[in-house]
Amino acid sequence: MNLKKLQQAERAFFARYPGGFDDEELKHIGKRHNVGKLSEFAAQNLAKKNFRQQAAVLDSITRIVSRSSMLSMFEKPKFRDYVNGLSRDDRSLLADGFNKLLHGNQTKGFEAIGDILLEGQLAKWSLMTICLYQLYPQKEVFVKPTTTKNVIRQFELEHLTYHPRPTWQFYKDYREAIDEMKSQVHPSLSPNNAAFTGFLMMSTATS
């Protein structure tokens, strides 16, 4: 990690937005993305106890995908239609994969979800990390390909190599890198991980 570039980005951000994420412009952007309300929905509907109701939990996952402004408008209906069209066995495997990812063995859960979505050509970083992020917005990260590649390049995260096909190893390493970067700047830059990566994205856009 290039700490000097990160600190330069921090100074530039506060020069432009002295109030940080309390700046009116950034608050307006935050409201548009609706992270808080979706996280409340995720907390209520993706709690471990709810996974006893497979159909309901898959419906909740589909709703999070459909309502998220961070996902492509083209991905949303494809995901919904694919999940709704899965066989009973595959729906069970997908629900179990999300249960593991959100509440158990994350590696196995991530891999199980990826295997099922791959069949529908939907094993995409955004679809595989949105629910994880919305349930744990301070802990987990939403992987948006363009932003992620730019962050790796701009801040010289030389131990990370981005690949379009999602893998748990990359996700875990990227999450650790984000945590390390957060520890090097003012805490107000990370009210949640999407806000922090938004700060990083803004700095890459001006570099």
Side chain identity at residue 56, one-letter code: A
Q: Which of 79, 102, 135 is the last residue of a domain?
A: 135
Q: Is the pTM of this model over 0.85?
A: yes
Examine the domain organization and report whether 43 and 123 are in the same domain: yes
- Band (pLDDT 50/70/90 cuts) for residue 29 is low
Q: How far apart are CA 206 and CA 187, in angstroms?
A: 22
Examine the domain organization and report whether 125 and 177 are in the same domain: no
Examine the domain organization and report whether 118 and 177 are in the same domain: no
pLDDT digit string, tens, across residues 161-195: 999 999 999 999 999 999 999 999 988 888 889 88
Among the listed residues 128, 136, 86, 135, the one whose alpha carbon sits nearest the alpha carbon of residue 109 = 128
Average pLDDT over residues 10-14: 90
Q: How far apart are CA 75 and CA 42, in angstroms?
A: 19
**pLDDT at residue 22 in the model:** 77
Q: Which of 112, 135, 158 is the last residue of a domain?
A: 135
* Statement: residue 35 has pLDDT above 80: no
Host domain of residue 92: 37-135
Average pLDDT over residues 41-58: 95
Examine the domain organization and report whether 131 and 148 are in the same domain: no
Examine the domain organization and report whether 103 and 175 are in the same domain: no
Examine the domain organization and report whether 83 and 161 are in the same domain: no
- Asked if 98 and 61 touch (Cβ cutoff 8 Å), the reply is yes
pLDDT digit string, tens, across residues 72-116: 889 999 999 999 999 999 999 999 999 999 999 999 999 999 999
How many independent structural domains does the chain possess?
Answer: 2
Eight-class DSSP state of 104: S
